[in-house]
Structures are given as structure tokens and as C-alpha cells.
Structure 1
Amino acid sequence: MLDAVSSIRSRAWRDGVEVAVDFPLADLDAWLGREDVLVWLDILAPSPEDLAVLRDELGMDELAVEDAVEPMERPKATRHATHSFLTCYSTTIETGTRNARLITGRVSAFLLKDGLITVRPDDTVDMDAILRRWQEDGLLHSGVAALVHGLLDHLVDGHFEAIGKMDDELEDLEDLLFEPSGKTSILQQRVFAMRKALVELRRVVLPMREVVTSVMRFRSESDRPLATDLDGNFNDLYDHVIRAAEWTESLRDMVSSIFETQLSLQDARLNEVMKKLAGWGAIIAVPTAITGWFGQNLPYPGFSAVSGLIQSSVLIVFGSVGLFAVFRKFDWI
């Protein structure tokens, strides 16, 4: 992915009605100080100057600012003196390729009393979709809680979509697993890619339980508690997070089952091949033994005579056909 170009977007609402669009970061402090105004500002690929404004002028915790741009941060929610901070990830399963590939996008957020500041290292997280959700939900009158809920709800919906695609991929693998003509190498590559994608997915889905729980706790413990009319929405969000976590657990069991079944089928097919080879080897041994006996330089009934040729041919035919019939009866060949 190409490096994202730094940019800033912003919105301000009063009683759910939009009153300002795309004001600069320098005006954020003034908008936050206005009564009954809800503010959102998004910083894409923040520059060192943007981070300095967050840290020095807006009073954001220095560790939180570092975590907002630090790579490989796990999903989490922390409480600071003047704000709360959370980091979450979006998930998308890449389609159009043979092997499953998980694409994650990161968004960090500073939760203030009257505003939400989001920070993204790139544009993988679709903030346009989140903005549409905020405007269509009709919950903006509930304040920052509505922004936080809309953000988390969008991310969790993306988790469900990714998990659903993985579930469909596993069903395809199950069908491929029992195909007689299925190529083992292709199946192994797809199973390995699925296990890798599922491990990455679990890293961003499972911690969401702690994130949502912490946000719900921050709402109730705040000196200025966030709107309680969204309690049902947050409880529903937490239920979705639990379901997503449980679904990933079942997918992990399914992937392990497919992997173990594949190994068992490989052993069974190998045993089947060895059984057939042993059967054909026994049949081939019949003419070898008979021609070896009749090829001895010793006198025997039919030695150097046509009757000996007929006798050996009859023994070879009946012996081979007899063994073939016996092995065929017991499904050896």
C-alpha cells in the first residue's frame, strides 16, 4: 500500500444538525469550547506538527499520542486525566485470489467530553462509511457516546463480514477435501493461508471485548457521564463482540479439524495405494515363479516339449486370474 497523504477532516454538530465542515486543526480548541456542540476531527497520516498540537496544545497524554502512531499496537482502551484513548482495527478478506488474505486497517481515537479525534496511519478504515452511519443513525444528540458507538459498531460489523467470508471459505475447503481428484498441494496452501488469516483475525477480534467493556465503564465512571440513552446500543454492541469472538473460536476448531482430516485422508490414500501395489505385486509374482521353475536346466514332466509350454501357460493364467479375483473380492485392487 502506498503511503497515505496527510489530511484533516472535521465536522461539528449542534443538536444533531451539522453546523461546520472541515475546519482546521487550529480551530478545534475553539469548537470544543462551545456549548452544546459535538465535534469530530480526523487526522490521516499525522505529521509531527499534528502530533505536537495533540500533545501540547490540546493536552493529550503523551503516551496516548505515541500509541496512536506506534505500529503493531494491540486493540485497547485506556483512561487518562482529560480523555480516554482507544485503538481498534477494521478487517477485510481479500477476494479474487486463490488463498485467503486478511487486510486490517487501524484507527485510534481520543474521547473527549464534547468531541472525538480519530487518527489513522492510512485510509484502510473507511471513515466515509462511518460518517454516513453517524448521520443516518440519528443518535448525534446523545453526544460523544453516539460517535464512539457508531465507530465501534462499524468495525464490529466488518469483523462479522470477514468471519462470514472465512466460514464460506472453510466450506469450500471441506468440499475440496473429499474430492478424489483434489490436488493435495493446493489444499495445503489454502488451509495454511486460512490458518494464518484466522490467527491475524483473532488478534484484532478477541481484544474487542476488553475495549467495549472499558468504554462502557468509562461512560459510567466519567465526571460527566455520557448519555445513558445509548445503554441498550452498547449492550447490543457488546453482544455482537462476544458472538464474533465465539465465531472465531469455532472457525479455529474447524480449521484444525480440516487440517487433521487432511492428514488422515493422506494416510488412508497412501495405505490404499500401498495395498493396490502389494496386490499387483503378488499377481506379478505368479508368472515370475512359474517361468522361473520351468526355466530350470533339470528334466521335469514336459521338459523341452510343447506340453510343458501349455502347462506353464495354464498355470500362469489360472494363478494370476485366481489371485486377481480374490484381491478384487476383498477390494485390494
Structure 2
Amino acid sequence: MALLETDDKQDPGLSMPSEKESAAIPERPRSRPGVVAAAVYEHGQRTHDIEIQEAHKWRGREKAVVWIGLHEPDEALLREVQAEFGLPELAIEDANHAHQRPKLEIYGDSIFVVARTAHMGGGEIVFGETHLFVGRGYVVSVRHGPSTSYNLVRQRCEASPAALAHGENYILYSILDFIVDNYMPVVEGIHAEVEELEERVLRDRLDKKDIERLYFLRRSLLRLRNAVVPLVDVCRRHEHLDLPGMDATLHALFRDVTDHVRRVQEDIDTLREVLAFTFEASLMIGQSEQTEISRKLASWAAILAVPTAIAGIYGMNFEDMPELKFKYGYFVILGFIIMVCSMLYRMFRRAKWL
């Protein structure tokens, strides 16, 4: 089974900087509860940290982008953001209630993207949700649940001003790419556990705990697939459609994200097939063992039936029975029992029942 691979064939001018480069940029503290970061970027450079109510002052400036990151905001904060950027009512309702299916919706000159995040925690997949509002001159990200912070994405973008100068859609690409990259360790972690179960089913019979874990992994992969598959269409639409504010040079980057998502989907489907095969193999091995035991029991029952039947007949205490008065009758009957039982034993051994 092939492990996930990474595709580094991107435009070098738009690629993300390394973690070593991004680590040099300090993380800035949040300005208020629910707000992770709010800043203005001009020509790819971070120029101002702002409050939400100041965002409208920077909209419309050439090469200026307002990037606001929110984490589980209350409705009042969302309404404040809506008033600043004129965000659509339906999208605000979705962002407030969460638990949405991954999707992309276009509202005039802005778009609304929903994506599901995933990471491993405590031996299981932990899911979160991200809502992205993208329009001319602004990006608003809203995280729900235990998803990974996007501070690292912000730091990487800030470390590459030339790429960040492409504006809001490059920020959108960076966040989607980060989400998809975080799927890969999840799939690889499950891949290692599935391989271990697959080897064990061929060595030893799986116990009840292993069967429960196998079922749990298959169910978790199904939930992960439901989060990943709709994202393929979201990325594909960015790759092919002329969305508001989309720079044609970014199509290759979104194509790369689409390839990564499809690769994750293929690996999930492969793992689910392997888990199904492992479960079926475990059942077949169990049935084979039960059949073998049944054959052995049936063989020994047939062999023991001979002396049992003869001893039962001669134990009925009738006076007129053959061989009762014969001097060597006991030895003849005993020899007959041994001969018949030996014949049956050889016959069952030849049939591989014993």
C-alpha cells in the first residue's frame, strides 16, 4: 500500500516558505476574545494590526488586504464583522451554527468556503470546521472546534511577501493547503495501525478488542472521507473558474491542492478496502478453525461410536447372545473393536480430518 506523497512542483515564486523561515516571525497576541489576529497587508507586507471596527478604512486600497482570524466567535462578533465587510446573511448564519458540509458559495463579488479540519488526538480523529469569507481586499477565517491554529499559515505568508502580494486568494490557497496537508499525518497514522492489524490477522486470530478497533477505524475513515471528498470540488472550482479577484497565476497552486486532496481520498478508499478485507479474513479464518474443530469432533465421535455400540449390545444381560459362552469371545470382540477403530482413524487421517 502506497503511503501519501507530496508534490513540490509549484511555482517557486508562489511556494510557501519553510518552517525554519516562518519560525523567525513572532506570534502576535489576540486583541480581544474570539479574535486570533487582525492585520492589514500592503504589497505583501504586514503594516498595521487593527481592531475589527477599523477594517472598513482599509478596504478599496490598492494592493491592501485585511486578514482577520476568528476562533469560535459569538454572534455579536460575527455581526460586527458582517457590518464591516457586508457579508451575506446566509453565510453568517452558517458560520455561527457550524456543522456545515464542505462547500463553496459565490455571493456577488465575494465567496464563502467551508472546510473540515482533522488531526489525531488520543488515538482517534478529531474534527474541526473552518469558514472562510473572501472578497476584494479581505479574508475572514472562522474556526470552530479543536482545529489547528492558522498562526503558522500567517507566519509563512508573512515570510514570503512576494507571494502574499497576490492578495486574498493567495491567503485562501494557503489556508486550504494547510488544511489538506494536515489530513496526511492522520491518514499515515491510520495506515500504520491498519498494517499492524493486517499482519496480526495472518499471524493470530483477532480478539474482540481488535475487531472493535477495526470497526472504529473504518467508521473514522468514513467520516474523514465525508470531510475530504467535497473539498475536491471546492478546490477544482478554484482551479477552473474565474472567481472574484482570482489571479490566473494562482490556478496552478489550487491545482496542486486538488491533486493532494484526491491523493488523500484515494488513500482513504484504499485503507477502507484493506480494513474490509482484514475483517473478512478474520471471519474466514474463524470459520475455518470452527470447521476444522467440527471435523475432528465428528471423526472422534465416529471412532468412539464403534466400541460404544458393541459394549452397549453386550451389556444388555441376555442369556442367549452370540459368543457369550465362547472361551475367547472377549478377545475376539476386543480385537474387532481395535481393527474397526484403526480403519476409521486411517480413513479420517487420509481425508485430513484428523
**Which bin holds the TM-score, normalised by the shorter protein?**
0.7 to 0.9
Q: 1:137, CA displacement in angstroms?
A: 5.3
Which residue number in structure 1 is paired with residue 74 of structure 2? 47
2:134 to 106, 111, 127: 111
Look up the equivalent residue of 1:208 and give its one-letter code.
L
List gaps (5 residues or longer) in structure 1: none
Which residue number in structure 2 is paired with residue 176 of structure 1? 200
The answer to whether the Cα contact below 8 Å between 1:91 and 1:158 also exists between their aligned partners in 2 is yes
Query: Residues of 1 paired with 2:352 and 2:156: CA distance?
Result: 63
Which residue number in structure 1 is paired with residue 172 of structure 2? 148
TM-score between the two structures when normalised by the length of structure 1: 0.86
Which residue number in structure 2 is paired with residue 87 of structure 1? 114
Q: 1:329, CA displacement in angstroms?
A: 2.9
The answer to whether the Cα contact below 8 Å between 1:61 and 1:80 also exists between their aligned partners in 2 is yes
Residues 204-219 of structure 1 mapped to structure 2, 5 A cutoff: 204-217=227-240
Residues 1:188 and 2:188 are matched in the alignment: no
Which residue number in structure 2 is paired with residue 63 of structure 1? 90
List gaps (5 residues or longer) in structure 2: 1-32
Which residue number in structure 1 is paired with residue 102 of structure 2? 75
Q: Please, which moves more after superposition, 279-288 or 312-321?
A: 312-321
Query: Residues of 2 paired with 1:30 and 1:43: CA distance?
Result: 20
Which residue number in structure 2 is paired with residue 238 of structure 1? 258
Which residue number in structure 1 is paired with residue 282 of structure 2? 262
Look up the equivalent residue of 2:91 and give its one-letter code.
A
**Secondary structure of the structure 2 residue equivalent to 1:226:** coil
Residues 1:280 and 2:307 are matched in the alignment: no
1:200 to 207, 223, 236: 223
Query: Residues of 2 paired with 1:32 and 1:304: CA distance?
Result: 120
Cα deviation 1:227-280 (Å, max 9, x = unaligned): 333232122112212222233333333333333333333332222222122112
Alpha-carbon spacing, 1:45–1:95, altered in 2? closer, same or farther (3 Å): closer
Query: Residues of 1 paired with 2:346 and 2:151: CA distance?
Result: 72
Cα deviation 1:90-146 (Å, max 9, x = unaligned): 1123454xxxx3211111010021221001123423223322332355521211122
Alpha-carbon spacing, 1:314–1:201, altered in 2? closer, same or farther (3 Å): same
Look up the equivalent residue of 2:331 and give its one-letter code.
I
2:38 to 3, 6, 10: 10
Alpha-carbon spacing, 1:137–1:263, altered in 2? closer, same or farther (3 Å): farther
The answer to whether the Cα contact below 8 Å between 2:126 and 2:146 also exists between their aligned partners in 1 is no
Q: Please, which moves more after superposition, 151-160 or 118-127?
A: 118-127
Cα deviation 1:134-190 (Å, max 9, x = unaligned): 23555212111221111011111122222222332322222122234432x233212
Cα deviation 1:262-312 (Å, max 9, x = unaligned): 333333222222212211211221221221133232344652787444334
Query: Residues of 2 paired with 1:155 and 1:200: CA distance?
Result: 16
Larger RCO, structures 1/2 (Cα 8 Å, 6+ apart) = 2
Which residue number in structure 1 is paired with residue 344 of structure 2? 323
Which residue number in structure 1 is paired with residue 316 of structure 2? 296
**Secondary structure of the structure 2 residue equivalent to 1:206:** helix
**Secondary structure of the structure 1 residue equivalent to 2:40:** strand
Query: Residues of 2 paired with 1:65 and 1:295: CA distance?
Result: 92
Look up the equivalent residue of 1:258 and give its one-letter code.
T
Alpha-carbon spacing, 1:137–1:173, altered in 2? closer, same or farther (3 Å): farther
Query: Residues of 1 paired with 2:224 and 2:160: CA distance?
Result: 28
Name the count of aligned residue pairs.
Answer: 320
Query: Residues of 2 paired with 1:140 and 1:72: CA distance?
Result: 30
Query: Residues of 2 paired with 1:217 and 1:268: CA distance?
Result: 53
**Secondary structure of the structure 2 residue equivalent to 1:332:** coil
Residues 1:314 and 2:338 are matched in the alignment: no
Q: 1:74, CA displacement in angstroms?
A: 0.2
Which residue number in structure 2 is paired with residue 160 of structure 1? 184
Alpha-carbon spacing, 1:316–1:30, altered in 2? closer, same or farther (3 Å): farther
Alpha-carbon spacing, 1:164–1:306, altered in 2? closer, same or farther (3 Å): farther
The answer to whether the Cα contact below 8 Å between 2:205 and 2:285 also exists between their aligned partners in 1 is no
Q: 1:84, CA displacement in angstroms?
A: 0.8
Query: Residues of 1 paired with 2:198 and 2:315: CA distance?
Result: 55
**Secondary structure of the structure 2 residue equivalent to 1:142:** coil
Which residue number in structure 1 is paired with residue 26 of structure 2? none
**Secondary structure of the structure 2 residue equivalent to 1:106:** strand
Which residue number in structure 2 is paired with residue 126 of structure 1? 149
